[in-house]
Structure 1
Amino acid sequence: MSSDVGVTLSNGCRITHGRGANIKKPFSDIDLTMHELSPGNQKGFRGQLGFIEFTPELRLPRHVHMDASKERLLDERILVLHGVGVVEIAGKVWATAPGTLVDITGGIPHTWSACPAGVKLSDGSVSEGKFTMVFEYEEPTSFFPTRSTETVTNVAQYQPFDGDNFDEIRFPKLTAQQVAEQAEIVFDKQQQRLSLP
């Protein structure tokens, strides 16, 4: 579903890339183009801000985020700086190109890894097997692992992971072929399929 900025998924998460952003040229005499990936946020994010460098070997466990008192589900924002990431959002796999902002609504189970080398994006570029993300949380939080891919709308619905081995809920090890077959990508304001070179 398209929104004013980016593509809003049915679960409330949003993926914004390229021409799907607000594009501004604020100066007539300076060649500056601004890609506004978010029209602002009403939440006033105050949580941790940082970055993570990924390879396909780094596969996060599926999780949600809550406040420290475990009373409220929290939103998260991820900006892909360079490389190609893959994210599972509520059980669906998406590839994320450089310059993509992913807004993950509180209560949506998600997990990340780097796209394996060899996946061709809509602009003709090919993934190299690594990516760097910047993350920001609505409030201070940590990871709350879950086996479920189902959206939770309140903390009481959260199903904690009860296993001994996070491998059971990590982003799956996918080949370039599997990513091309399973994932979609938001490029500009269009949901698209991936391919191999």
Structure 2
Amino acid sequence: MALDGAPQSLGVKLDNGTRVTHGSGANVKVPLEGFPVTMHELYTGNDDGAKLSFEGQFGFIEFHPDCRLPRHIHMIRDETTGKLEMLPERILVLNGVGVTELCGEYFVVAPGSLVDIPPGVPHTWNACPPGVKLPDGTVSDGHFTMVYNYSDKTSFFATEQTELLGSADEYVAYQGDLQDIRFPILNKEEIVARAQFVWNSDLRQDLDLA
């Protein structure tokens, strides 16, 4: 995985274009002298040309281990031309520990992390199973709260594809049973063995069991 070293950008940028911002990888500051208020600025307004303006749905989901979303991307259909356009998605893991599949790879997502998923990244989410320990001692309990925001009004476009899509023309709609493309059932040992995670400004693979 590649790290993005651009000084004006926050977080870690994965090879598929997804950016994960966590901990001191954010712009952490105390803006007002004399007031004990610490800001964790997860996004500076610089989107690196990734079209990360957000005008679509905004809300939250309470995840548990049985949620296991089907793999999908997000798109919108142009009302004039009828053509599909791929859209980005922004996810904030508010509390608890999540796990996501991005282009076929697994990533555990720590609480307080912002995940900016660019257009064309097939992805799915679930709650991290109980018993996975993060570097600060946080242990997953099988639940997390996801706050989501889309760049425009959209819905799920299910796909079996795992490769990064360069355009909407490459999208192949999944016609089968959505149960077959849900996030797989993984236990804590499998997560520790297979998943990477962003911690502060580093992409790491040293998860542990509680």
User: What is the deviation of 1:68?
Assistant: 3.3
Q: In structure 2, give the amino acid aligned to 1:167.
A: Q
- Give the Cα separation in 1 of the matches to 2:4 and 2:53: 24
Q: Cα RMSD over matched residues?
A: 1.1
Q: Distance in 2 between matches of 1:33 and 1:186?
A: 21
The residue identity in structure 2 corresponding to 1:15 is: V
Cα separation, 1, equivalents of 2:139 and 2:183? 21
Counterpart position of 1:122? 135
Structure-2 separation of matches of 1:43 and 1:13: 11
**Do structure 1's residue 57 and structure 2's residue 66 form an aligned pair?**
yes
Deviation at 1:128, TM superposition (A): 0.4
Tell me the TM-score normalised to structure 2 length.
Answer: 0.90
Stretch deviating more after TM superposition (79-88 or 2-11):
2-11
Q: Is the deviation greater in 2-11 or in 30-39?
A: 2-11
8 Å Cα contact 1:82-1:132 kept in structure 2? yes
Which is worse superposed, 3-12 or 35-44?
Answer: 35-44
Task: Indicate the residue corresponding to 2:104 in structure 1.
Answer: 91
Q: 1:146, 1:105 → 2: CA distance? A: 16
Choose which of 135, 145, 166 in structure 2 pairs with 1:153.
166
TM-score (norm 1): 0.96
How far residue 53 of structure 1 moved from its aligned partner, in angstroms, is 0.5
Task: Provide the rounded CA distance (Å) in 2 between the counterparts of 1:2 and 1:73.
Answer: 23
Query: Any stretches of 5+ residues in structure 1 without a counterpart?
Result: none
How many Å separate the matches in 2 of 1:143 and 1:8? 24
Measure how far apart 1:23 and its partner are. Answer: 1.1
For residues 68-147 of structure 1, the aligned pairs below 5 Å read 68-69=77-78, 70-147=83-160
Residue 176 of structure 1: which of 188, 202, 205 is its match? 188
1:191 and 2:193 matched? no
2:86 alignment partner, SS class: coil
Deviation beyond 3 Å, 4+ runs, structure 1: none
**Unaligned runs of at least 5 residues, structure 2:** none
Q: Is this contact kept in 2: 1:2–1:189, CA < 8 A?
A: no
Q: Which amino acid aligns with 1:47?
A: G
Aligned positions, number: 196
1:27 and 2:28 equivalent?
A: no
Deviation at 1:166, TM superposition (A): 1.1
Select which of 2, 22, 37 maps to 2:4: 2
Q: Which residue of 2 aligns with 1:38?
A: 43
Counterpart of 2:147 in 1: which secondary structure?
A: strand
Checking the alignment, whether the CA contact within 8 Å between 1:68 and 1:140 is kept in structure 2 is no
Instruction: Answer 1 or 2: which has greater strand percent.
Output: 2
Contact 1:85 1:115 in 2 (8 A): yes
What is the identity, as a one-letter code, of the residue corresponding to 1:168?
A: D
**1:174, distance to aligned residue in structure 2 (A):** 0.5
Identify which of 155, 170, 175 aligns with 1:162.
175
